[in-house]
Amino acid sequence: MNEPLSISVHELTKRFGDFTAVDRVSFEVRRGEIFGYLGANGAGKSTTIRMLCGLLSPSSGAARVADTDIFQKPEEVKRHIGYMSQKFSLYMDLRVEENLEFFGGAFGMWGKKLKKRAEYLLDRVELLDHAQMLTGRMPGGWRQRLALACAMLHEPEILFLDEPTSGVDPRSRRNFWRLIRELADEGTTVFVTTHYMDEAEYCDRVGLMVAGRLPALDTPSELKKTWVPGRMFMVRGIDSTRALSLKRRDEILAVESFGTGYHVQTSDEVSSPGDMGKMLQMDKREQVEIEEVEASLEDVFLRVIASFHKDNTSQEDS
Amino acid sequence: MRAFFRRVAAMAIKETTHISRDKQVIYMALGMPVVLLLLFGYAISFDLDLLPMGLLDRDNTPESRSLIQAMTASDAFEITKHLDDPNQLHEYFKNGELKTGLIIEPGYSKSLKRNETATAQLVLDGTDGTTAGIALGYAAGVAQAQNLRNMEKLGLMAELPIQARVRALYNPSMDSSKFIVPGLIAMILAIMATLLTAITVAREWELGSMEQLFSTPVGRLEILLGKLIPYIVIGIVQVLLVITIGSILFDIPVKGPLYLLFGTSFLFLACTMGQGLFISVLTKAQMVSTQAAMISTLVPTILLSGFMFPIENMPWPLQALSYIVPARYFIDSLRGILLKGNGFSVLWPDILALGIISLVILAASTARFKRRLD
């Protein structure tokens, strides 16, 4: 991690009247890193991104994006970044290449250089054969890729993507993320927000945002180690009384309903599905499935939210 | 500076593409002016055209018939009813069959021959003040001409001591369409220009593309200018269209230089389109801005521009207000260019005023146009 810093944020805060949308958030992102920003709707993800893109003026704190102070030179920031807003906002009545030409022109690009760059990007996002298509006629996944191409025209150092894959089918999402990984490997810094937990796994580091705060920030595997220590078993086929009864045992750290069954988190002493089965004192006739699973970021997210709310309540009590 | 022009050009090309894809805008831009011109051009007229007149001729002599003939010689009045009693007029005025009545008392010719005052009574339906006023003026003119002729016959006096020779320059037949059409052109251009541009900025807000635009280095003035350029071109096409139709259907001449016609039109379009942009920037919503655009152009253009009502007759606060209505200057210069053949030396105050208003409104729009989302 010797790459230079692309983004550094210190105690960044945004207030709208009495409401604090982003509350003293601090983090750093290095060049070529994919930084994921995870959180529920309204947690402050978009507000953070808009401040970093020079679209919203921050209330307090400090932040530099591509070596530019966002408080002092928000317009300068725009030259170095590409931004894809949450709401799809290309022009539906323009053709694919017309959208690219317009946004290229908006960045002051012109003529051959713009044409070459647009062609290159269309090839990259696999839309070269559809350059003449009306944007409004394309499926969501294609539009998203076109929007990415538009944001990449001026070869930005940093890409800000605000929920780029919302409303896009799973296969397109996977393709999209492959593209993002390629861009990052080529040295583009990517700051991406999402509320899909599985997508966060693609990120080098993930920040979890809850109610304007940033209580957890690390690589996905470190986050799991810190927030969900021990082992994790997926148990299907037990009822809720059985599941809750497990909680009384010392080796069991947590039981949470997850999909069609329960995620049971244990200390390292419980080392196999067999150990887990013994604890459940199963009847032979019972159809219980037990498998060891890796903790997901969703588990992490649930823990973070739970501990955040506990902290906040205890603060209010004291 | 080059980057500035590139960005403006990019905006203008994009906006032109939007327009070319939107059939509604094209129909509205080219169809509406024609429809409005026909509608208003034929509907609004201050000329008397065969005003129905009731007649009661109790004298029934060559002299009285000569008066009647003089009255109906032009197509101003038409005798549609012969009355038996003056009171019948009430009935006909009430049901609208008649607008005027001419009553000649017995003894009209005798009085004339004896060189005494002869009376003929003209009765008018006063509820329609404009028509009554015009009819009155016309009838008075006829009566005076008739007097002169009679005096001449009697060899009393060839001429009146003071005789006003009335001649309407630039519009010799006092054709009201010559007076109205220039005002109409201004009104049509103002409505269309404000409407078209009022939608455009608001639409970008509603679609969310404004946020994307703001993330690029495109400046506010560049956005506004880029949007303005294609609409000004449309506006100039509208001017051509309306002037052509005006000259074919309403005999409107173009006596002045064409460069002045297009120059003042350009400045007027810049004012009204700037007004549309200003509304759009303020409201950020298409519905609201459309309505605001209609009201804010129609009312001042009709009432405060001298289009229908002379500015000199207004109370001073309204007169003062009229100075910021761009249509006031445009209508004045249009009448000058089209009818009088005025040149720059006469029209420069109008041109200056239009230039100032357009700059002020564009500056105000840019200032109110927040490039940030908060």
Report the CATH number at residue A129: 3.40.50.300
Which pLDDT belongs to residue A97?
Answer: 93
Question: Residues B95-111: what's their mean pLDDT?
Answer: 86
Please check whether residues A69 and A138 belong to one and the same domain: yes
Q: Is the dihedral of CA B237, B241, B244, B246 positive or negative?
A: negative
Please check whether residues A61 and A90 belong to one and the same domain: yes
Please check whether residues A45 and A59 belong to one and the same domain: yes
Contact B208 A87 (CB under 8 A): yes
Q: B152 vs B59, B146, B166, CA distance in Å?
A: 22, 10, 20
Which pLDDT belongs to residue A318?
Answer: 45
pLDDT surpasses 70 at B158: no
- Taking alpha carbons only, the member of A31, A148, A29, A35 closest to residue A85 is A148
pLDDT surpasses 60 at B48: yes
pLDDT surpasses 80 at B170: no
Query: Is residue B211 less than 8 Å (CB to CB) from chain A?
Result: yes
pLDDT surpasses 80 at A40: yes
Please check whether residues A195 and A67 belong to one and the same domain: yes
Which pLDDT belongs to residue A87?
Answer: 78
Q: Which residue has the tokens 């030259």?
A: A79
- CA B125 to CA B132: how far, in whole Å? 6
pLDDT digits (tens, 9 = 90+) for A227-276: 888 888 888 888 888 888 888 888 888 888 888 888 888 888 888 888 88
Identify whether A236 is part of a domain.
yes
pLDDT digits (tens, 9 = 90+) for A195-224: 888 888 899 999 999 999 999 899 998 998
Which pLDDT belongs to residue A150?
Answer: 93
Please give the single-letter amino acid code of residue B333.
S
Question: Residues B120-137: what's their mean pLDDT?
Answer: 82
Query: Is residue B331 less than 8 Å (CB to CB) from chain A?
Result: no
Identify whether A257 is part of a domain.
yes
- Nearest C-alpha in A relative to B372: A55
Identify whether A304 is part of a domain.
no
Query: E strand or H helix at A298, and its extent?
Result: helix A297-317
CATH of the domain at A261: 3.30.70
Please check whether residues A156 and A271 belong to one and the same domain: no
Identify whether A316 is part of a domain.
no
Which pLDDT belongs to residue A141?
Answer: 87
Which pLDDT belongs to residue B3?
Answer: 85
Judged by DSSP in three states, B156 sits in coil
Mean pLDDT, chain A, rounded, equals 88
Which pLDDT belongs to residue A279?
Answer: 79
Q: Which residue has the tokens 């001073």?
A: B316
Q: List CB contacts (< 8 A) between B24 and chain A.
A: none
Please check whether residues A155 and A256 belong to one and the same domain: no
Give the relative orientation of helices B326-335 and B344-368 as an angle to the nearest 10 degrees. 160
pLDDT digits (tens, 9 = 90+) for A92-151: 999 999 999 999 999 988 889 999 999 999 999 999 999 999 999 998 889 989 999 999
Which pLDDT belongs to residue B139?
Answer: 82
Instruction: Name the CA radius of gyration of chain B, rounded.
Output: 28
Which pLDDT belongs to residue B332?
Answer: 92
Q: List CB contacts (< 8 A) between B211 and chain A.
A: 55, 85, 87, 89
pLDDT surpasses 70 at B108: yes
Please check whether residues A178 and A289 belong to one and the same domain: no
**Span of A111-115, B85-89, B155-159, B365-369 with lowest mean pLDDT:** B155-159
Boundary-marking domain end, from A176, A201, A224: A224
Residue A274 domain boundaries = 229-294
ipTM confidence: 0.81
Q: What percent of chain A has pLDDT over 90?
A: 49
Residue B162 binned pLDDT confidence (cut-offs 50, 70, 90): low
Contact B373 A50 (CB under 8 A): yes
- CA A173 to CA A243: how far, in whole Å? 35
Please check whether residues A84 and A202 belong to one and the same domain: yes
Boundary-marking domain end, from A162, A189, A224: A224
Judged by DSSP in three states, A90 sits in coil
Q: List CB contacts (< 8 A) between A108 and chain B.
A: 3, 6-7, 217
| DSSP structural state of residue A295 | P
pLDDT digits (tens, 9 = 90+) for B309-362: 888 888 999 999 999 999 999 999 999 999 888 889 999 999 999 999 999 999
The count of structural domains within chain A is: 2
- CA B107 to CA B122: how far, in whole Å? 17
B237 or B374: which leads in pLDDT: B237
Residues 123-152 of A with CB under 8 A from B: 150
Residues 60-89 of A with CB under 8 A from B: 74-75, 78-79, 81, 83, 85, 87-89
Please check whether residues A113 and A129 belong to one and the same domain: yes
Identify whether A177 is part of a domain.
yes
Identify whether A143 is part of a domain.
yes
Which pLDDT belongs to residue B75?
Answer: 78
Angle (CA) A86-A87-A93 rounded to 5° is 140
Boundary-marking domain end, from A224, A242, A275: A224
Identify whether A15 is part of a domain.
yes
B373 or A56: which leads in pLDDT: A56
Residues 84-123 of A with CB under 8 A from B: 85, 87-91, 93-94, 98, 101-110
Domains in chain B, please, with CATH? 2-44+175-368 (no CATH), 51-153 (3.40.1710.10)
Which pLDDT belongs to residue A1?
Answer: 54
Residue B166 binned pLDDT confidence (cut-offs 50, 70, 90): low
Please check whether residues A147 and A289 belong to one and the same domain: no
Identify whether A86 is part of a domain.
yes
Please check whether residues A122 and A213 belong to one and the same domain: yes
Which pLDDT belongs to residue A314?
Answer: 64
- CA A55 to CA A45: how far, in whole Å? 14
Please check whether residues A219 and A246 belong to one and the same domain: no
Query: Is residue B11 less than 8 Å (CB to CB) from chain A?
Result: yes
Question: Residues A278-286: what's their mean pLDDT?
Answer: 72
